[in-house]
């Protein structure tokens, strides 16, 4: 299994956008699974009607037969060879259907590389199970003081999940933002990548504006492609290398 989960500590540093960029950038068959306990954004952004035919992670988690093939159940609305299982947009539905625990049990059955959008760290036992079931957890932080402080209070909990790496939003010249190196020193996790400020590509990946012809050459898609290489590579290379 080659799987990675991306999480945030607070705010909205761009987890969902980055996960979509990693899936969109490569031409490999990656499965994106959105499992944010606070509810998902992908279905709404891509106009997938969760009341009708669309399989969300919440709907699948409530299927008692337990035999679902996640790759076969997933959608491919925009991501080339990648497929996506969006979360339900509602936190209430996500919690009622216990998506994190269900997914922790199902992940070993998936044969494709998986990237999980695990949303914000909430410290729950269910989320601990999910993050422990993937090969690596990548924590995305915008290096402003509240996110770094929140992350440093959660390092002990996150370290229990296994291998942890850091994704740091670039500072864009803002002196109030710390460098990736200093965030790594504070938190004790290696930097997997820095994530560029790239509004046009982020808007396209959020379904807010049509993609430009050269979207694949944008800074955010290049970062996504490099990350996709990491989790589609051999298991031994997934960690931080």
C-beta of residue 103 within 8 angstroms of C-beta of residue 79: no
| Contact string (CB under 5 A) for Mg ion, positions 14-33, x = contact | -xx-----------------
Does position 104 bind ligand ADP by CB under 6 A?
Answer: no
CA 143 to chain centre: 18
User: Is residue 81 close enough to count as binding ligand ADP by CB under 6 A?
Assistant: no
Q: What number of H helices and E strands is found in the chain?
A: 13, 7
Measured at CB, which residue is nearest to ligand ADP? 14
Q: Which is nearer to Mg ion, 82 or 156 (CB)?
A: 82
Binding residues for ligand ADP restricted to 10-39, rule: CB under 6 A:
12-17
- Three-class SS of residue 45? helix
Helix (H) or strand (E) holding 108: none
Close Cβ partners of 158 (under 8 Å, ≥ 6 residues apart): 121, 131, 137, 139, 164
The distance of closest approach from Cβ of residue 235 to ligand ADP in the complex, given in angstroms and rounded to an integer, is: 26
Stretch that binds Mg ion, among 10-18, 53-61, 90-98, 196-204 (CB under 5 A): 10-18
Does position 42 bind ligand ADP by CB under 6 A? Answer: no
Provide, rounded to whole angstroms, the least separation between the CB of residue 218 and ligand ADP.
10
Residue 199 interaction partner, one of ligand ADP, Mg ion, none, beta carbon < 5-8 Å per kind: ligand ADP
Nearest to 33 by CA among 123, 109, 124: 109
CA distances from 61 to 64, 70, 98, 112 (A): 8, 11, 7, 19
Q: What is the largest CA-CA distance in the chain?
A: 54
Candidates 203, 216, 225, 229: give the one binding ligand ADP (CB under 6 A): 203
Should residue 199 be labelled a site residue for ligand ADP when binding is judged by CB under 6 A?
yes
């Amino acid at each position: 299994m080659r799987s990675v989960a991306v999480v945030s500590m607070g705010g909205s540093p761009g987890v969902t956008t980055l996960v979509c960029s990693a899936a969109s950038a490569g031409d490999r068959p990656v499965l994106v699974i959105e499992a944010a306990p606070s509810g998902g954004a992908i279905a709404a952004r891509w106009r997938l009607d969760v009341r009708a035919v669309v399989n969300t992670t919440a709907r699948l988690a409530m299927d008692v037969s337990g035999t679902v093939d996640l790759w076969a159940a997933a959608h491919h609305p925009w991501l080339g060879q990648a497929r996506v299982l969006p979360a339900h947009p509602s936190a209430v539905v996500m919690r009622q259907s216990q998506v994190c625990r269900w997914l922790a049990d199902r992940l070993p059955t998936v044969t494709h590389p998986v990237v999980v959008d695990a949303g914000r760290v909430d410290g729950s036992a269910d989320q601990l199970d999910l993050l422990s079931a993937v090969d690596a957890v990548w924590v995305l932080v915008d290096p402003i003081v509240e996110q770094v402080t929140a992350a440093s209070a959660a390092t002990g909990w996150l370290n229990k999940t296994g291998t942890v790496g850091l994704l740091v939003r670039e500072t864009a010249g803002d002196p109030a933002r710390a460098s990736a190196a200093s965030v790594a020193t504070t938190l004790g996790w290696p930097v997997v990548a820095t994530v560029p400020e790239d509004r046009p590509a982020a808007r396209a990946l959020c379904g807010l504006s049509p993609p430009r012809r050269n979207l694949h050459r944008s800074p955010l898609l290049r970062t996504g492609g490099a990350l996709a290489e990491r989790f589609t590579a051999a298991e031994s290379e997934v960690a931080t290398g």
